[in-house]
Amino acid sequence: MVPTSFYILISAVLFTIGALGVLVRRNAIVVFMCVELMLNAANLAFVAAARQYQAMSGQIFVFFVMVIAAAEVAVGLAIIITVFRNRETLDVDSANQLKN
Amino acid sequence: MPVDSIIFGLTAFVVIAAAMMVVLNRHPMYSALYLVVTFLGLAVFYLQLQAPFLAAVQVIVYAGAIMVLFLFVIMLIGADRPMAGEDHLGVQKWLGGAFAVVLIGEIVYFLAGAHSATLNTRSYVALIHSAADKTLYAPFGSVKALGSVLFSQYLFAFEATSVVLIIAMVGVVILAKKRL
Amino acid sequence: MPFDIPLALIILFPLAGFAVCGLIGSRMTKPWPGIIASGAVLASFIVALIRVIDLASMPQNVRVISETAYTWISVGALRSDISFLFDPLSAVMILIITGIGFLIHLYSIGYMAEDHNDPEGKLYARYFCWLNLFIAFMSLLVLADNYLLMFVGWEGVGLCSYFLIGYWFKREDAMAACKKAFIVNRIGDFGFLLAMMLIFVVVGSLNYNDVFDAVRNTPQLFSVGILGTIGAATLIPLLLFVGAAGKSAQIPLFVWLPDAMAGPTPVSALIHAATMVTAGVYMVSRSSALFLNAPNIQILICVVGTLTALFAALAALAHTDIKKVLAYSTVSQLGFMFMAVGVGAYAIAIFHVFTHAFFKACLFLGSGSVIHSLHGEQDMDKMGGLAKKMQITNITFLAAGLALAGFFPFAGFFSKDEILAAVINAGSGAPILIACGVIGFIAALLTGIYTGRQYAQVFLGDARDEELYEHAHESGPTMTIPLIILGIGSLVVGFLGMPHFVFIPAWGHAFTNWLEPVFSSGGAAEAPNVILLLIGLLIGWGAWLGGVALGKNAVGVIMPESLRAVSLDAFYNITIVPAGFAIAAACRWIDETFIDGIVNLVGSFVGESSVALRATQTSYVRNYALAMAVGAVIVLAWFVVK
C-alpha cells in the first residue's frame, strides 16, 4: 500500500500546475481547463484521505464535486462563447479598459 | 517491489507529465487532449485507492462528457489556433513560477510531518469518524456502500444537485441563444 | 426718592443709544442720531446726579452704595460680578463723564453736521454710536467694584478710542494713529493684566473690598516674592502703574496721544482730555491702598510724572498745529496728576482731573470751533485776529487758557499749585521729590507760556491769511452753548478745592473733604505753604503774559527744526519697530518653511503614494489572480511559521 502522503503530494503538484496554468495562459478556454485540473487535484486528495480513514464521506464529496464541476463547465463555456461573440477574441488580457 | 508501487509510479509520471503539457502547450486542442490523458491517469489512481465507482464516473463524466464539451467549444469558436498577439505581461511567468515553487515547498514542509504535532489530527479524525458512516453493508468503496451512504445521509445534497443541474441547463440555453 | 434708581441705568442708557444709532441710525436724517445719543447721555447724567444726592445724604464715613446687577463669572475661586461701587470717587468721575460727555455730544451735533471729510454725511450716525458706547464703557470703568469689570471698561474705552480716532477711515494718518493708540494701550493693558493676575494669586479675589481689606489686615500676604526677591507688594503697584501709563500717556507710552489728534475734535475733547486718559489716574487712586506698601514705586510714579510734564510742555512749545499743542498739553497735565498721585495726594490729583476736564475740554472744543469756521485749517501760523470775528469762542478760549496756565483766580491755579505744594512738602521724606517739585514749577511756567502763545497766535494780532479770515464766522448755538458752560466752569470750579487757609469758608474745600474718606493715605489736609502758593501765583501770571507777548509777535516755534526730529517716536522707529518686524519675519519664515512645509509634505506624500499605488491597478485579470494566489501563499506561510 502506497502511503497516503504520496497521493497528497501528487495532488499538491497537480494543483500547483493548475494554478500556474491559470496565471500564465492567455487563452480563456485553456485557463478554464486548468481550473478543472485544480478541481481534480482536490478530488484526488479527498479520495486518498477517504481511503486512509476508511470514511465514505470522502468519496461522496468527490461525487458531488464532479457533478458541480460538470454544471460549472457547461455554464462557463456558454459564457465564454457569449463573450467571444462580442469581442472576437479569447484573450483574457483584452479586458483592460479599467487600466490605472 | 510490489506491483502497487510500480503502477503508482508510472501513473504518477504520466499524470504529472500530461498536466505539464496542458499548461505548456500552445495549441488549445492539444491542451485539451492532454487533459483527457490526465483524467484517465487519475482514474487509475482512484482504482488504486479503492474507489472503483469513482474511477468509472471520472472516465464517463470528466473525460467523456466534460472534455467532449471542451473540444466542441474549441472547435466551434475556432480557438484551436495558438493565441495571436504578444504577451504584455511577461513578468507574470516568473512570478507565477516563484509562486508555484513556494507553494510546493510549503506543502512538502507540511507533509514532512513537521507540524503534525500542532495540528490536532486526532480530533479531526474523530470528527471524520463520528460524522461518517455507521456500519457499511458492503466493502469499502463499492457501489453498494456508496449508494447506502449517499441516499441516507446525503440525500438532501443529492436532491440539491439535481436542482443545480436543471439551473445550469437553463442558464446555458439562455446564454448561448442568439436571439431570446 | 420713592425707589432706588439702579446704577446700571447709567450704563444702559448710552448702550441703548449705541444700539439705536448703530442699527438704525444710518436711516435717520442728520441731527437725529445726535439728539438721541445726547439724550441718552443726559439721562445718564440725571440718574448719576440723583444717586450722588443720595450718596451725599448718607453720613460721611459710610458713604458707599453697592449694587449687584448680574452674576457674571463664578468659577472656582474667581468670582466677578457686574456689580457697582458708588462712593465719592466714583461719584466725581461719573459726573465728569456724563456731564462733560453730554456737553460734548451736544457740541458734536453741530460740529459733525458739516464734515468736509464726509460730504455725504453717511458716517454721522456711526460717530454717535461709538461716542455713546464710549460713555457706557467709561461709566462701567468707574462704577465697577472689581478689577475684572474695570478692565472690561478699560478695554472698551480703548476700543472706542480706536474707532473714534479712525473715524475717517479713508485717511491714512487716522488709520495709522488709531492702530498706534490701540497697540500702545495694549502694552499698558498687559501690565494691568499681569497686576490683576498677581492680585488674584495673592489675595484670591479681584473685588476691591476684598483686596483692600487684605492689604490692610493681612499685609504679609503681599510679601511673597515673585521675581526673586521682588515681592508682590512692589510688583503689583508697578504693574498697575504700567497699565496707567499706557492709558494716561506717561513716558514712555504717551506717543499715541499726539497722533490721536487725527480724529474729530470733539473726540479729542472727550476722550483724550476729559475722560479716557484720566482712567489711569482713577485706577491708581482707586488702588491707593496697594500703593501704600510700595514707597519706591510711589517715588517712581512721581518722577515719571514730572519728566512727562516737563518734556510734554517743551514739545508743546515746538508745534504750530492747534490740536497738537493741546495734545501735548494734556500729556503734560497728566504728568502733573501723576506727580500728585506719587506723593499720596490722591484727592488733589482727582481735583486736578476735575478742573482739567473743564478747561481742557473747553480748549479743545474752542479749537474745534476755530477749525470748523476756517473749514479745516489747523495750522496756527495761518490764523490770527479771530477775536473780532468769533467773540464767544474767543472769550471761552481765553477763560480756559487762563485756567490751564494757572492764572489766579482761575481753576487751574488751585489744582496745579496744590499739587506742587504737596510734592515739595513730601520732599522732606525723600529729597528727590524736591527736585521733582522744582521741575514741576518749571513745567508750570512752560505751560503758561505755550498757552498764552497759542491764544495770542489764534485770536490776537492781525490775520495772517486774509482769505481764511474772510470766511471765519462764529459757530452755531449747539457749539457755543457747551463752550459757554465749560468756560464758566473753568472759572469757578477751582473754588471748590481751595487750600485750607483759615479765612476760607467750608465750601471752599468741599471737594477735598468729599473725597477724603476714600483714600488710604492722607488727602490734602496739610497746612498749605504760602510761599509756594505765591510763587505759583506769580509764575501763572508771568508765564501767561510772556506767552501772549511771544504769540503776538508771531514767534511760532521756539525750537529749531532739527530738534523736532528728536522724539520718542523716532527712537521707537529705530529700536522697537525693527525688532518687531524682525520677530514677525522670523515667525513668517517658520510658518512658511516649517509648518507649510510639513503640511505640503503630507499632501505631496499622499499624492505621490497614490501615484505609486496606481501601478497596482493594471486591469489585467491575470495580475489580480496572481495577487490572490500570492496572498494565499502568504497565509499558508504564516501557518508554516507558527
**Segments forming the whole domain that contains residue B175:** 137-180
* pLDDT of A20: 92
Q: Look over chain C and give the mean of its residue pLDDT values, rounded to a whole number.
A: 83
Q: Is the pLDDT of residue C466 over 50?
A: yes
Residues B40 and B14 in one domain: yes
- Grade residue C564 by pLDDT with cuts at 50, 70 and 90: low
Per-residue pLDDT, averaged over C540-547, amounts to 77
Residues B2 and B75 in one domain: yes
Q: How many residues does chain A have?
A: 100
Q: Is the pLDDT of residue C171 over 50?
A: yes
Cβ atoms within 10 Å of C619's Cβ, excluding its own:
13
B17/A86 Cα distance (integer angstroms): 36
User: How big is the CA angle at C634 (ends C632 and C638), to the nearest 5 degrees?
Assistant: 115
Residues B106 and B46 in one domain: no
Residues B6 and B49 in one domain: yes
Contact of C425 with C328, CB cutoff 8 Å: no
Task: Give the total number of structural domains in chain B.
Answer: 3
Q: Which of C619, C621, C629 sits opposite A99 (nearest CB)?
A: C619
Q: Higher pLDDT residue, A34 or C415?
A: A34
* pLDDT of B180: 55
| Dihedral Cα C305, C308, C310, C311, nearest 10 deg | 170
Q: Which of A5, A66, A81 sits opposite B57 (nearest CB)?
A: A66
| Residue among C145, C407, C389, C363 at smallest CA distance from C261 | C363
Query: Distance (Å) from the C-alpha of residue B117 to the closest C-alpha of chain A?
Result: 16
All cell numbers assigned to C463: 490775520
For C292, list phi and psi in degrees, rounded to 5. -60, -35
Burial of C495: CB neighbours in 10 Å, binned 0-12, 13-18, 19+: middle
* pLDDT of B55: 95
Tell me the chain B residues in contact with residue A84 when contact means C-beta distances shorter than 8 Å. 77
For C557, list phi and psi in degrees, rounded to 5. -120, 130
Is the predicted ipTM greater than 0.85, yes or no?
A: yes
Residues B110 and B145 in one domain: no
Closest-CA residue of A relative to C625 is A23
> In this complex, is the C-beta atom of C617 within 8 Å of any C-beta atom belonging to chain A?
yes
Do residue A51 and residue B39 have CB atoms under 8 angstroms apart?
Answer: no
In a domain, B151, yes or no: yes
Count contacts between B and C (CB, < 8 Å). Answer: 29
* pLDDT of C523: 44
Do residue C626 and residue B92 have CB atoms under 8 angstroms apart?
Answer: yes
In a domain, B84, yes or no: no
* pLDDT of C316: 84
User: How big is the CA angle at C570 (ends C569 and C571), to the nearest 5 degrees?
Assistant: 90
Query: Distance (Å) from the C-alpha of residue C610 to the closest C-alpha of chain B?
Result: 22
Do residue B89 and residue C620 have CB atoms under 8 angstroms apart?
Answer: yes
> In this complex, is the C-beta atom of C74 within 8 Å of any C-beta atom belonging to chain A?
no
What's the number of CA atoms in the CB half-sphere (13 Å) around residue C343? 33
For C331, list phi and psi in degrees, rounded to 5. -60, -40
Q: Higher pLDDT residue, B162 or C271?
A: B162
Point out the least confidently predicted range of C113-117, C208-212, C495-499, C616-620: C495-499
In a domain, B2, yes or no: yes
Q: Which of A25, A26, A35, A99 to mutate to test the interface with C (most CBs of C within 10 A)?
A: A99
Q: Which of B92, B102, B109 sits opposite C633 (nearest CB)?
A: B102
| Residue among C633, A44, A8, A17 at smallest CA distance from B116 | A8
Pair type for strands C230-231 and C225-227: antiparallel
Do residue A22 and residue C614 have CB atoms under 8 angstroms apart?
Answer: no
C400/C410 Cα distance (integer angstroms): 8
Per-residue pLDDT, averaged over C38-47, amounts to 92
In a domain, B85, yes or no: no
In a domain, B71, yes or no: yes
> In this complex, is the C-beta atom of C633 within 8 Å of any C-beta atom belonging to chain B?
yes
* C203-210 contacts at long range (C-beta below 8 A, 24 or more positions apart): C204/C77, C205/C77, C205/C78, C205/C79, C205/C146, C206/C78, C206/C80, C206/C146, C206/C147, C206/C148, C207/C79, C207/C80, C207/C145, C207/C146, C208/C85, C208/C145, C208/C146, C208/C147, C208/C286, C209/C85, C209/C145
Per-residue pLDDT, averaged over C552-580, amounts to 68
Question: Per-domain residue ranges for chain C?
Answer: 294-571, 577-641
Contact of C485 with C407, CB cutoff 8 Å: no
Q: Which of A5, A6, A25 to mutate to test the interface with B (most CBs of B within 10 A)?
A: A25
Q: Higher pLDDT residue, C417 or C99?
A: C99
Query: Distance (Å) from the C-alpha of residue B158 to the closest C-alpha of chain C?
Result: 31
Reported pTM = 0.70
Tell me the chain B residues in contact with residue C626 when contact means C-beta distances shorter than 8 Å. 92, 95-96, 99
Query: Which mean pLDDT values do the consecutive 10-residue runs of chain B (180 residues) have?
Result: 87 95 90 95 93 94 93 83 68 85 85 57 60 65 86 91 95 81
Residues B146 and B113 in one domain: no
Count contacts between A and B (CB, < 8 Å). Answer: 212
C27/C233 Cα distance (integer angstroms): 54
Residues B72 and B4 in one domain: yes
User: How big is the CA angle at C498 (ends C494 and C500), to the nearest 5 degrees?
Assistant: 175
Neighboring chains of A (3 or more beta-carbon pairs < 8 A): B, C
Do residue B107 and residue A12 have CB atoms under 8 angstroms apart?
Answer: yes
Q: Is the pLDDT of residue A74 over 60?
A: yes
Q: Is the pLDDT of residue C524 over 50?
A: no
> In this complex, is the C-beta atom of C629 within 8 Å of any C-beta atom belonging to chain B?
yes
Q: Is the pLDDT of residue C556 over 70?
A: no
Point out the least confidently predicted range of B14-18, B97-101, C225-229, C231-235: C225-229
* pLDDT of B124: 61
Residues B145 and B115 in one domain: no
Q: Which of B96, B106, B115 sits opposite C637 (nearest CB)?
A: B106
* pLDDT of A87: 82
Query: Which helix (H) or strand (E) covers residue C87, if one does?
Result: none
Residues B68 and B15 in one domain: yes
Residues B50 and B4 in one domain: yes
> In this complex, is the C-beta atom of C622 within 8 Å of any C-beta atom belonging to chain A?
yes
Neighboring chains of B (3 or more beta-carbon pairs < 8 A): A, C
Q: Which of C633, C640, C642 sits opposite B99 (nearest CB)?
A: C633
Q: Which of A15, A22, A25 to mutate to test the interface with C (most CBs of C within 10 A)?
A: A22
HEC profile of C560-627: CHHHHCCCHHHHHHHCHHHHHHHHHHHHHHHHHHHHHHHHHHHHHHHHHHHHHHHHHCCCCHHHHHHH
Do residue A98 and residue C617 have CB atoms under 8 angstroms apart?
Answer: yes
Enumerate the β-bridge partners of residue C225. Answer: C231
Q: In whole angstroms, how far apart are CA C305 and each of C287, C339, C637? A: 17, 5, 87
* B139-148 contacts at long range (C-beta below 8 A, 24 or more positions apart): B140/A51, B140/A54, B140/A56, B140/B50, B141/A51, B141/A56, B141/A59, B141/B49, B141/B50, B141/B51, B141/B52, B141/B53, B142/B52, B142/B53, B143/B52, B143/B53, B145/A56, B146/A56, B146/A59, B146/A60, B146/A63, B146/B53
3-state SS assignment for residue C85: strand
C425/B63 Cα distance (integer angstroms): 129
Contact of C340 with C470, CB cutoff 8 Å: no
Residues B51 and B106 in one domain: no
* pLDDT of B84: 67
Residues B30 and B44 in one domain: yes
> Which residue intervals of chain A are DSSP H helices?
4-24, 28-53, 57-87
Per-residue pLDDT, averaged over A26-30, amounts to 89
Q: Is the pLDDT of residue C521 over 60?
A: no
Q: Which of C619, C622, C626 sits opposite A97 (nearest CB)?
A: C619
In a domain, B93, yes or no: no
* DSSP symbol at C4: P
Q: Which residues 6+ apart lie within 8 Å of B136 measured at CB?
A: A56, B145, B148, B149
Closest-CA residue of A relative to C632 is A19
In a domain, B90, yes or no: no
Burial of A96: CB neighbours in 10 Å, binned 0-12, 13-18, 19+: middle
Q: Which of A60, A71, A78 sits opposite B149 (nearest CB)?
A: A60
